[in-house]
Amino acid sequence: MAERPYSSAPASLPLASHSLSNHLPPDPQPLRISPATRFILDLIPRLPLRARQVAEACLYTGARINEILSLRCSQVDRQGRIFIRAGKGSASRVVYYPAILPLTRQAHLAGWADLFPRFSYFQFRRQCLSVQPTGWPTSGLRKSIGNAFRRAAADLAISLSQGELSVAQEFLGHKASTSTKYYLPNQKEPSNG
């Protein structure tokens, strides 16, 4: 029997594939996730199509927003592996997200080299802020939209692995667990400020 990368993690986790998309239950309520992660999950369906595609790719791969926005079609293979080159700290890694394949095909047919041409971080941020659910403060999202999706991805990885920090560390592509701990959400409700 082949040994799993993490002996204490459940076998059903996407350890080698680095994607959470196929492992989320239809209703995320049973998961023990933070209110901030629940907010991100509520926000995504409200986004316009292009922003939703970027948000889902960030959430389900653990990639940074700018890593997804700067993807070129040549960085996605036919199995849905995304080759992220020169991420933060000039680190390269591979993440798995088969749902990006239709976007890649559309971009190829349109003759685009980039997966999200003419769509910037600032447009993404503006669209997230314009559709956020009522009752949630804009200040927290305005300050940290860049980390909000990575924090949610880390929270989901930890929840799905029943508390295994090493799973979130591998999922986010960190060498040290101290980097991963930064992305772990605190369990407080956001303040109205």
* Residue 46 domain boundaries: 31-183
* Domain assignment present for 20: no
**C-alpha span between 145 and 151 (Å, rounded):** 10
Domain assignment present for 102: yes
Q: What is the pTM of this model?
A: 0.75
The CATH number linked to 121 is 1.10.443.10
Is 190 a member of any domain? no
Q: 177 lies in a domain?
A: yes
Q: Are 44 and 56 contacting, i.e. CB atoms less than 8 angstroms apart?
A: yes
For 112-150, the pLDDT digits (tens) are 999 999 899 999 999 988 887 666 655 556 567 778 888
CA distance linking residue 60 with residue 15, whole number of Å: 13
The size of the chain, in residues, is 193
Best mean pLDDT range from 55-59, 96-100, 180-184:
55-59
* Structural domain total, the chain: 1
Judge whether 130 and 142 are in contact, CB under 8 Å.
no
Structure-model confidence comparison of residues 145 and 109, the more confident one: 109
* Residue 52 tokens, joined: 């939703």
Residue 5 lies in a domain: no
The answer to whether residue 150 sits within a structural domain is yes
In this prediction, residues 47-56 reach a mean pLDDT of 93
CA distance 78 to 116: 18
